[in-house]
Each structure stands twice: as C-alpha cells, then as structure tokens.
Structure 1
Amino acid sequence: MSGPSPTGRHGRWRDQLIALGWLVVVWNLLWGDFSWGNLVGGVLVGSAVLLFFPLPPVSFGGRLRPRALLVLAVTFVTELVSASIHVAAIAVRPGYRPRGAIIAVRMRIRTDLNLALTAELLSLVPGTLIIEVDRDNGVLYVHVLDVRRPEDLTDSRERILAVEERIVRAVGSAAELRQLSPSVDRR
C-alpha cells in the first residue's frame, strides 16, 4: 500500500491550515479589530508567510498526559515567580554585581520539538537565556544569572534537565519516557 500516510501529505496540509488559522488570529489581534477586511488581509499575509517562509515539519509522536501537563504548568509558574523575585532582588541590591555563566546542557531527548519546548520554557524564566541550540548534538547553551560557586552550575544543569523531563512526561512518547534514565551522560 503506497498511499500517503496519516502524517504525510494530509497531515502536512492540516498543519499548514492550523498555522494559517493562528496567523489570521494574530493578524486580527495586532489590528485590534475583527473585520472582514482584516480577516481577508490575515489570510493573504498568512498565506504569503507560509509560502515564502515554510516551517519545517515537526512530528508529534507523543501523547498529552493531563496530570503531568498540570505539574509542568504549576512548576513553571512557581519557577517564574521565584526567579522574578530573585532577579528583582538582584536589581535593587546596591553595589551587587551578579556573575553570569554560559553552560552547555546535553538534552536526553534530541527531537526538534523537545529542544524547542525546553528552550522556550527556559527563556521565559527570568535569569536564564538560550544562547544557542545545537540541533545535531542536542545541546542547549544557556546563560544563567547569579553564579557564585561551582555548585550553582550543577544546580542550573539539573534544573534545565528537570524542565526537559517535565516536558517529556507531559507530552512525550513512550520511547522518550524510557530515555529519561539517570545513567545518561549529562555533560
């Protein structure tokens, strides 16, 4: 049977239509008015964006796990608030000069989706910033703020890997869950 697979041509068209729908919504939100003109303009601009700047296909082989997704969301909000307070305290402390560091963290799950989700969540938390993503080797280069001792680097690596683990537990496949073993080299 040589027909297109569900994730083949039909899946690609579905993904393109979903992306177009979101681009139209964003276009209307940017204009601040949902009108027929903005709707048509959004379809035209969104179609041009998808035609001239095509996104690479991102496959999703996992499944959503509501409980793990809730843990991911609650932990993210907790880290967001805690990091915001920490960065604010650094900003108002007179004479204090925080030291930053750039660390390389090898991800255990090297799919594009996992790298992107992990990088996005890390970038949203104050005090961490993604400097570079090495797709081929599955390495994130992350700038971390307020490093005072070598243990802070180890703690930052473990925190980044914990974010990756929560993401995989929330949306990963069974094979990806098996890869989350502690015996994997984390350098």
Structure 2
Amino acid sequence: MSPTLRAQASRVWRQLPFFVWLVLLWMMLWGQFTALAVLSGVVVALIVTRTFHLPTAALSGRVNLWHGLVFIVLFLAELVRGAITVAWQALGPGVTPSAIIRVPLRTDDDLIMTHVAVTASLIPGSLIVETDRESRVLYLHVLGVRDRADADAQRRSVLVWEERIVRAVGSRAALAAIRKGTP
C-alpha cells in the first residue's frame, strides 16, 4: 500500500465515528430509522464532510466503559434533579437569584472542553454563555446562586463533570492533569 493511500485510509478511519454520528443525527432529526433514512443520511453526511472542511479532532483512543456508564447514570440523575430544582425555583415565591461564574478547566483538550460545556448546558439550571479556548475557561449562567459559596459549589460541580468525562474518554495526559488538580 502506498504512503498516500495509507494516509488517506487513516484519515477516513479517524473520521468514521463522526460520519456515523452525522448519519445517526440525521435519522434522529427525521425520527425514522429506515433504509431510506440511512441512505439520505449518508448522502447528507458526505455533502457536509466534503463541503465544510473541519480539522480532524484527535480522539484519545481510550474508552473506559465503567466510567462511561457511571457518567451516563449520574448525568441522567442530575438531569432529573436539575429539572425538579428549576421547576421548584420557577413555581416558588420570589425571584430566583442567578450569576455568571467562571470555571477554569484543568485539561488542555478541545473535545473534553466541548463535552464539559455540553454537559453543563444540558443540566437544567445552568447554561454556557461563553468559552475561552485559549485560557480553557467556561463561563456559565447559573440559577439559584445566592452567595459565593453557591458559586464555588457550582464551579466544583463542573470540575467533577470534567473529571468524569476525562475518566471515561480522556487521554492519559488529561488524566494526569486531572490528578494534578490545578487549572
């Protein structure tokens, strides 16, 4: 196999998970899991990947199934807890306090930063308002923050999600950064 062909095959292999994700996303958007949905999803994924040349995201190649399962279970529990908390705040008397908090992440990985931001935004009661990629900082709008202790608790919560994500899919370097613990 020629070096050019080998490099091309390697690039396709690295992009395969993203391509499959685009096809699955297409099928979820249409709410159909049929052969036609798969075929049209492949066509759309080909158009998207050929038209919008995004840099290849470097995956760590490391997946820990146990920590992934722990992440999913805890995330689902947090979704329920967050929904109940936000509903209580919305229906309760008075005004719900909120704040913008700054969370410096400990890892230097774009995918981990993205996963942490998406996780924090999906949990009811918090929303990412800005990310600073250069300094690895997330800015969140958070409901129910009355004082500095509440803000610190929310910051610690985001850092715990970062740790869970790194334990599930992070690289060894990201694991070392988490163990060091300094942003």
SS in 2 for 1:54: coil
Q: TM-score, normalised by structure 2?
A: 0.85
Q: Do the aligned partners of 1:83 and 1:125 also contact (CA within 8 Å) in 2?
A: yes
Check 1:108–1:33 CA distance in 2 against 1; reply closer, same or farther (3 A cut): closer
SS in 2 for 1:60: coil
How much has 1:14 moved relative to structure 2? 1.9
Stretches (4+) displaced over 4 A: none
Q: Which residue of 1 aligns with 2:51?
A: 52
In terms of fraction of residues, the more helix-rich structure is 2
SS in 2 for 1:147: coil
Check 1:11–1:136 CA distance in 2 against 1; reply closer, same or farther (3 A cut): farther
Check 1:28–1:144 CA distance in 2 against 1; reply closer, same or farther (3 A cut): closer
What is the CA–CA distance in structure 2 between the aligned matches of 1:55 and 1:113, rounded to whole Å?
A: 14
What is the CA–CA distance in structure 2 between the aligned matches of 1:62 and 1:46, rounded to whole Å?
A: 23
Q: Do the aligned partners of 2:15 and 2:56 also contact (CA within 8 Å) in 1?
A: no
What is the CA–CA distance in structure 2 between the aligned matches of 1:178 and 1:162, rounded to whole Å?
A: 15
What is the CA–CA distance in structure 2 between the aligned matches of 1:28 and 1:169, rounded to whole Å?
A: 30
What is the CA–CA distance in structure 1 between the aligned matches of 2:55 and 2:170, rounded to whole Å?
A: 19
How much has 1:124 moved relative to structure 2? 0.9
The answer as to 2:83 corresponding to 1:84 is yes
Residue correspondences, number: 180
Counterparts of residues 63-74 of structure 1 (less than 5 Å): 63-74=62-73
Q: Do the aligned partners of 2:23 and 2:45 also contact (CA within 8 Å) in 1?
A: yes
Q: Please, which moves more after superposition, 66-75 or 137-146?
A: 66-75
How much has 1:18 moved relative to structure 2? 3.8
Deviations 1:56-89 (A, max 9, x none): 2111125111222222122212211111110010
Q: Which residue of 2 aligns with 1:34?
A: 34
Q: TM-score, normalised by structure 1?
A: 0.84
Q: Percent identity?
A: 38
How much has 1:120 moved relative to structure 2? 1.1
How much has 1:35 moved relative to structure 2? 4.4
Q: Which residue of 2 aligns with 1:134?
A: 132
Kindly provide the amino acid, as one letter, of the partner of residue 96 in structure 2: P
SS in 1 for 2:178: coil
Q: Do the aligned partners of 1:62 and 1:174 also contact (CA within 8 Å) in 2?
A: no
Counterparts of residues 84-103 of structure 1 (less than 5 Å): 84-94=83-93, 96-103=94-101
Deviations 1:96-136 (A, max 9, x none): 21121111111100211110111111111000101111111
Q: Please, which moves more after superposition, 161-170 or 176-185?
A: 176-185
Deviations 1:30-73 (A, max 9, x none): 1736244x554333322211122233211112511122222212
Q: Which residue of 2 aligns with 1:61?
A: 60
Kindly provide the amino acid, as one letter, of the partner of residue 13 in structure 2: R
